[in-house]
Structure 1
Amino acid sequence: MRAARSNKLIVFALAFVAYALLMAIYVQYTSANDVPAAYRGTAADPATFFTPAELADSESINAVRNWIFFMSGPWEWLIYGIFMLTGLGSGIRDRMARRGWPIYVRFPLYVLALSAFSYGLYLPLRAFSFAVSSHYGITTQPVLGWLRDKGVQFSVGYVTTLAVSAVAFWIVSRGGRWWLKLWLLSVPFSVFMLFIQPVVIDPLYNKFTRLSDPALEEKILALADKAGIPADRVYEVKMSGKTNSLNAYVNGIGSSLRIVLWDTTLKRLDEQAVLLIMAHEMGHYEMHHLEWSVVGTVATSFFVLWIGGALYVRIVRKRGERLRITGPADMNALPLILLLMSVISFVSLPISNAVSRSAEAAADDYAFELIGSSAGAVKMYQQMATISLSDVNPPLLVRLFRDDHPTDMDRIVKAERFAAGEGSGGS
């Protein structure tokens, strides 16, 4: 049996290497920033607003970015496979049981061991991504600051995994339609996470203050009032010590609602561009995209638990002995659960990304309508693309699996079309 597990692990490792080489070829030989002939020489053509050096850098960094993205899922799957097939997980479980430790000690320690193992083996990929971003000037964060953030991320992830898995295994142990019970519990949990994200989790990583420009805050709040958003302040988050990227967002619900601007956005863009960005984020609020995202999460979790639960029961029943899983409620089944969830989530990315791109496009339209103009939008999209060295027209697989926003090319073209129709009231 040990030889069979070793052979499977070797097969998985070889498949992983073959996949890594295949994706390296794909990202290397799909042309970055290649726009259709109709847009060449226009404002949507990066050759008109990127310097030759920036074009070269964009091509190089996006090949690496895309490779890292496509490796992230299989890398995670391989880690869970190693934990299961080498007997590492069952060994930890059995040693704790032989020592007679109670379940309330054994289970947190098992989750900690799995979390540390998976996070540690995944860390090289994160470090590589950090090094690449630093090399091209996207990331400005010192190594020690990055390590601190990774430590916070691990701690939050461990606590969340421990709490969710403890409840999940308890429900599974009671039998019945446990997947349906888990789904019903996911509804209040998703709402709770949306509420606490801005006020509890986000401040663990970054410092939030009131917007440093009172005049700009007044204009943003006036825009929010026009959009019907009940806000009395705008938050500024200090990101310049970590990145040169630009961002702004509206998140939270009820009393935790926050309008947030990165300080990099304030420093790099003019007031007109900032107001356009904020109008876009307000569009998400006005069109209830935050609430719909919760609905989408809940709906997705239904299918993930339904399909994943059926696969899980089948695998435990047929392969449980080989994987040293004694039953559906065995703690040693946790890596299998995480593996199944990760695979299903990755496979469903084209659907979730398509929904997200539609919402983002709608928010762009809302911003132009709220401001009453798309003036400055083209320049803003060009600046944002240049600063982040983005690929304005990514290849097909990248658009399907990675992009949750419209391409820069599409957004520039749309802004120009809105501007062309402003005089006649069209868009």
Structure 2
Amino acid sequence: MYSRQKSILKSVLVLFVLYAVAMAVFAWYTSPNNVPSAYQGTAADPATFFTPGQLHDSQTLNAARVWIFFMSAPWEWLIYVLLLAGGLSRYWRDALERRGLPIYIRFPLFVLLVQGASFLLYMPLRIIGYSLSRSYGITTQPVSGWIRDKLVDFGIGYVIMLAVSAVAFWIISRGGRWWLKLWLLSIPFTVFMMYVQPVIIDPLYNDYYRLKDPVLEKHILDLAKRADIPADRVYEVDMSTKTNALNAYVTGLGSSLRIVLWDTTLKKLDEKEILLIMAHEMGHYVKHHLEWSAVGAVGGSFVLLSVGGWLYARIARRRGAGWGIRGPSDMAALPLALLLMSVISFASLPVSNAISRNAESAADAYALKLIGSAEGSVTMDQTMAIVSLSDMNPPLLVKWFRSTHPSDMERIVKALEFEKQHEQ
């Protein structure tokens, strides 16, 4: 049995290396910032507003970004396979049992070991991403702050994984349609997490406060009033200590809803551009995208648990003995559950990303309509592209799996079309 597991591990490692090489070739030779001939020389062409140095940096950085992205999920899968086929999961369970510890101590310790091993083994890829972003001036966060955020990630992830896995394994041990019971329980949990995210979790990473510029806040609130949004404040978040990138977003549900502006956005964009961003975020509110996001999360968890649950039971039954898994409710099967969730989540990205891009496009259109002008939209998108050294027109595969928003090229083209229509 050991020789068979060793052979499986070798095969997995060889496939992983071959995949890494193939993705490196793909990332390098699908050069970024290639726009269709119809848009060359227009405001949507990066050659018209990127410097030659920025174009070169964008090409190199985005090739690395694409490689890191497409390596992220398989890297995570490899970790879980190593824990299973390498025998660590079984070894930790047995070692904790030999010490005679009660289950309410054994299980949290086991989850901590799995979470800790996954965190440490994944760290090299995180370090590569951080180092690249810092070397190109995107990330400004010092190493100490970055490590602190990663430790906060670890702590929050551990608490959530412990709570979810404890409930999941208990329900699985009861038999029956356990995946359906888990899905029903996931509904209030999903809504709760979306509610507490802006008021409890986000402040653990950054400082949030009322927008410092009262004149700008009044203009934003006036815009909200035109959109029939009952807003009484706008939030600013201190991001300049971590990044030069620009962003704004809407998050939360009900009374926890927040419209947030990064301070970097306030520093690098003028008022017309900021109001367009705010109008975009208001579009999400007006069109109930947050509520639909919650519905989508609930629907996604149904697919994840129904498909994943079937695969989990089947694999645990057929392969479990070789990995030392005694049954579906055995804690040693936790890496298998995490592996399946990760694989299914990655496979569903083209669908979820397409839905997200559609919502973002609708919010863009709403913003232009609310403002009544595209003035500032083109320069805003150009500035954001320059600051992030983004790919104006990513390859189709990258768009399917990585792009949650329309490309900068698409957004500029839409703004130009709006401008042209309203000039007539």
Deviation readout 1:302-324 (Å, 9 max, x if unpaired): 01111110001000111110011
**Equivalent residue runs for 1:127-138 within 5 Å:** 127-138=127-138
Equivalent position amino acid for 1:20 in 2: A
Indicate yes or no: 2:3 matched with 1:3. yes
Give distance in 2, aligned partners of 1:216 and 1:264.
15
Amino acid at match of 1:341: M
- Secondary structure in 1 matching 2:323: coil
Distance, in Å, in 1 between the alignment partners of 2:187 and 2:287 is 21
TM-score normalised per structure 1: 0.99
**Equivalent residues in 2 for 1:235-314, closer than 5 Å:** 235-314=235-314
The one-character-per-residue Cα deviations of 1:71-113 (angstroms, maximum 9, x if unpaired) are 0000000000111111111111011111111100000000000
Q: How far apart in 2 are the matches of 1:278 and 1:12? A: 47
Counterparts in 2 of 1:21-100, with a 5 A limit? 21-100=21-100
**2:103 aligned with 1:103:** yes
| Counterpart in the other structure of 2:320 | 320
C-alpha separation in 2, matches of 1:16 and 1:10: 10
CA distance in 2, matches of 1:227, 1:189: 31
Give me the whole-angstrom Cα distance separating, in 1, the residues matched to 2:82 and 2:228: 52
Q: Which residue of 1 aligns with 2:195?
A: 195
Secondary structure, counterpart of 1:315 in structure 2? helix
Letter matched to residue 365 of structure 1: A
8 Å contact kept, 1:221–1:232: yes
2:355 corresponding residue in structure 1: 355
Matching residue's letter, 2:23: M
For residues 213 and 40 of structure 1, what CA distance do their matches in structure 2 show? 39
Aligned to 2:375: 375
Q: CA deviation at 1:423?
A: 3.4
The SS at the match of 1:209 is strand
Contact 2:206–2:237 (CA under 8 A) maintained in structure 1: yes
Q: State the secondary structure of the residue aligned to 1:246.
A: coil
CA contact (8 A) 1:231 1:258 kept: no
Runs of 4+ in 1 over 3 A off after TM superposition: none
**Whole-Å Cα distance in 2 between the matches of residues 254 and 314 of structure 1?**
41
For 1:56 and 1:151, how far apart are their aligned partners in 2? Answer: 34
Which whole-Å deviations, capped at 9, do the CAs of 1:258-316 have from their partners, x for residues lacking one?
11100000000000000000100110111010010110111011011111100010001
Amino acid at match of 2:159: V
Question: CA contact under 8 A between 2:31 and 2:63: conserved in structure 1?
Answer: no
**Counterparts of 1:249 and 1:228, CA distance in 2:** 18
| Mapped partners of 1:95, 1:57: distance in 2 | 50
User: 2:272 corresponds to which letter in structure 1?
Assistant: Q
2:243 aligned counterpart, secondary structure: coil
Amino acid at match of 1:385: A
CA distance in 1, matches of 2:44, 2:116: 45
- SS of 1:320's equivalent in the other structure is helix
Residue in structure 2 matched with residue 144 of structure 1 by the alignment: 144
For 1:161, the equivalent position in structure 2 comes to 161
SS of 2:322 mapped into structure 1: coil
Contact kept? 1:224, 1:282, Cα under 8 Å: yes
Which amino acid in the other structure matches residue 214 of structure 1? P
Q: Which amino acid aligns with 2:230?
A: P
For 2:139, the aligned partner's letter is T
Q: Does the 8 Å contact 1:198/1:256 carry over to 2?
A: yes
Q: Distance in 2 between matches of 1:407 and 1:259?
A: 23
* Deviation at residue 422 of structure 1 after TM alignment: 1.2
The equivalent residue for 2:420 is 420
Are 1:373 and 1:419, in contact at CA under 8 Å, matched by a contact in 2? yes
Does the 8 Å CA contact 1:28/1:63 hold for their aligned counterparts? yes
Q: CA deviation at 1:228?
A: 2.1
Distance 1:407 1:356 in 2: 12
Distance in 2 between residues matched to 1:267 and 1:279, nearest whole Å:
18
Q: Does the 8 Å CA contact 2:248/2:262 hold for their aligned counterparts?
A: yes
Give the deviation of 1:196 after TM superposition. Answer: 0.1
Contact 2:224/2:231 (8 A) holds in 1:
yes
- Superposed CA RMSD in Å reads 0.7
The letter for the 1-side match of 2:134 is: S
User: How far off its partner does 1:254 sit?
Assistant: 1.5
TM-score for the superposition, normalised by structure 2: 0.99
> 2:344 maps to which residue?
344
List runs of 5+ in structure 2 lacking aligned partners: none
- Secondary structure of 1:385 counterpart: helix
CA offset digits 1:365-390 (Å, max 9, x no partner): 00001111111101110110000000
Unmatched 5+ stretches in structure 1: none
Aligned residue-pair number: 424
Separation in structure 1 between the aligned mates of residue 221 and residue 175 of structure 2, nearest angstrom: 52
Deviations 1:37-75 (A, max 9, x none): 111101100000000000000000000000000000000
What letter matches 2:330 in structure 1?
A: D
Counterpart-to-counterpart distance in 1, 2:257 and 2:406: 25
Whole-Å Cα distance in 2 between the matches of residues 11 and 396 of structure 1? 30
Q: Distance in 2 between matches of 1:185 and 1:320?
A: 26
Deviation of 1:347 after TM superposition, in Å, equals: 0.8
**Same amino acid, percent of matched pairs:** 64
Work out the CA distance in 1 between the residues paired with 2:337 and 2:129.
27
The reply on whether 1:395 has 2:401 as its aligned counterpart is no
Paired AA for residue 44 in structure 1: A
- Distance in 2, matches of 1:250 and 1:19, equals 37
Distance 1:363 1:385 in 2: 19
